[in-house]
Structure 1
């Protein structure tokens, strides 16, 4: 079993299509198919069920998948470690990030990282905190910037807290509440709310705080992206509870008001508990304040 065969196997798993996978690994389709067949013969198991429309992974393929990822990650980490001895970081760094991450301006942090380590290619993935934590635990991501609660696989990651922040009540600039410095949560029962996706940790934090305050929100719209949510507030569709940094793209069209009681959330960066960070990941962690 060779690393290149495992890379070919992983490409087919992720693309679910031999032609797309072949393009991804820069092979002809016939060469990729031959590589997969050789791997199947060596393992004496079919790894894929092929059809005219797509490719499905067999039970044997699913069993091989985490080990293939680990082997390829270990090989990449070895190459990066050797390069690090010579003072040069290289390779890829896969990072997860929730859309509503606050406190730390991550685009600025990643730009600084790129200037220091131009040989590292960054891959960013957005998702819910729970899905990103799972991806880190399973080796699909090196690091993830998330908020609490972390979800079902929190026991499989190492958590570095980056601090806590208070959410704000976001209202349109022309709203009657915009001139206030603070707003009681219990006094918002007659307001229309726009909300972020129900599977997010942010939503779980907001739901819990509103229950504690006795506020039953009148939710009129849910959005999958924070940008859409902020724009809905700017247009006067409703109000929302959001991290302060999320309001920045709207400029003066949206005002953030402190809430009483405050709604605080903890944000963190997580890495896998069963393996040390790669040199590329460690270099990014070193830049955190």
Structure 2
């Protein structure tokens, strides 16, 4: 069984389409088919079947995926470790991040790391905190920038910053003339909410529960730009990170009493050593 065959199989398992998979591994389709067929012969079973929609994995194929992934990752880690001994840094750095990170600029961090280590291939994925944390624990990501709350029992955490949310209102709203507001004054106002599976929403809900108040939620959206766009069109008000208002001139920000703080942290799996690329990223952070 050759490593390249496992690599070809994993790409095909992701794409479930021979043409797309062949393009990803820079082979003609017939060469990819030959590689998979050779792997099937060595294992003595079919790993996939063709269908009208593309490719479907057999039960044996599905069983092979995690083992094949571990083998390919182990080989990559070995190459990276040898390169590190030689004073070189290569491999991949897979990072995750939530949509808003205060004053932390992911493009800047990636650009600075690339200048120091041009041989490392960088990947950035955005998602919800539960999804990112799960991917870190499962080894799909090397690290992730997230905000609390989340289950940190299998994670190592590095605190980054604490910021207070602000109340976002349309500039024609009577509240726009004020600088701060007590949350108790908002019992009759309509709220536009961020997605329910987010740590940001959990933080807001917890703060309201502590003071015994309820919000009149009229809309839930999947992205911060959509949330602020709704406010720009006079749909309601919302609690958001302050940096999200920079590109929304028709939206004003008020501080709240009590404050609703969120803690930004960088996490990686506690049970797995950092790859050389991830270790270099952590060492170079100045946050």
Output the CA distance in 2 between the equivalents of 1:279 and 1:71: 18
| 1:206 CA drift (Å) | 1.4
Give the paired residue count: 286
Aligned partners of 1:186 and 1:214 also within 8 Å: no
Output the CA distance in 1 between the equivalents of 2:87 and 2:55: 42
SS at 2:73's partner residue?
Answer: helix
| 1:71 CA drift (Å) | 2.1
| 1:166 CA drift (Å) | 1.6
Q: 1:189 to 1:49 in 2, by over 3 A?
A: farther
Aligned partners of 1:103 and 1:165 also within 8 Å: no
The Cα offsets for residues 34-83 of structure 1, whole Å up to 9 and x where unpaired, read as: 22222233333433343121323333333322222222222222222333
Deviant stretches of 4+, over 6 Å:
none
Aligned partners of 1:188 and 1:215 also within 8 Å: no
38-47 vs 238-247, which moves further: 38-47
Q: 1:63 to 1:268 in 2, by over 3 A?
A: farther
| 1:20 CA drift (Å) | 0.8
Unaligned runs of 5+ in 2: none
- Map of 1:267 onto structure 2: 264
Output the CA distance in 2 between the equivalents of 1:165 and 1:158: 21
- Map of 2:21 onto structure 1: 21
- Map of 1:142 onto structure 2: 142
Query: What's the TM-score, normalizing by structure 2?
Result: 0.90
The Cα offsets for residues 111-161 of structure 1, whole Å up to 9 and x where unpaired, read as: 22222222222111111111111112222211111112225xx43332222
Aligned partners of 1:48 and 1:57 also within 8 Å: yes
41-50 vs 123-132, which moves further: 41-50
User: Are 1:278 and 2:279 counterparts?
Assistant: no
Q: 1:142 to 1:9 in 2, by over 3 A?
A: same
Q: What is the root-mean-square deviation of aligned Cα atoms in Å? A: 2.0
138-147 vs 156-165, which moves further: 156-165
104-113 vs 4-13, which moves further: 104-113
The Cα offsets for residues 138-187 of structure 1, whole Å up to 9 and x where unpaired, read as: 22211111112225xx4333222223222111122332222323211122
Output the CA distance in 2 between the equivalents of 1:16 and 1:227: 33
User: Are 1:7 and 2:7 counterparts?
Assistant: yes
Unaligned runs of 5+ in 1: none
- Map of 2:70 onto structure 1: 70
11-20 vs 214-223, which moves further: 214-223
Output the CA distance in 2 between the equivalents of 1:237 and 1:30: 56
Aligned partners of 1:109 and 1:287 also within 8 Å: no
Q: 1:92 to 1:12 in 2, by over 3 A?
A: same
| 1:103 CA drift (Å) | 4.5
